[in-house]
Structure 1
């Protein structure tokens, strides 16, 4: 599990409207690690989306 916390309210100050944003992160793992991180993340996101849509 990897948790990335993002909090920019202190830096941004008061905003008059919501701001859309994106976040990109890269991971470097040893070549000997056999993990499809992309597929694992996609699966977890799909589970969360199905749960929210219920």
Structure 2
């Protein structure tokens, strides 16, 4: 059996795949950055190159 160690950021338009140990967890979902975790209320994008969220 293999365990999941990475998953797509829970931010819908975000393209990032995040390591579960590095992810920011909020409401049971995993995000690649604080900006995505807050729903981009105060921060635009996630600062990862090539991602347009």
Structure 2 length-normalised TM? 0.21
Q: Larger C-alpha radius of gyration, 1 or 2? A: 1
Q: Which has the higher strand share?
A: 2
Structure 1 length-normalised TM? 0.21
Q: Which has the higher contact order (CA 8 A, sep 6+)?
A: 2
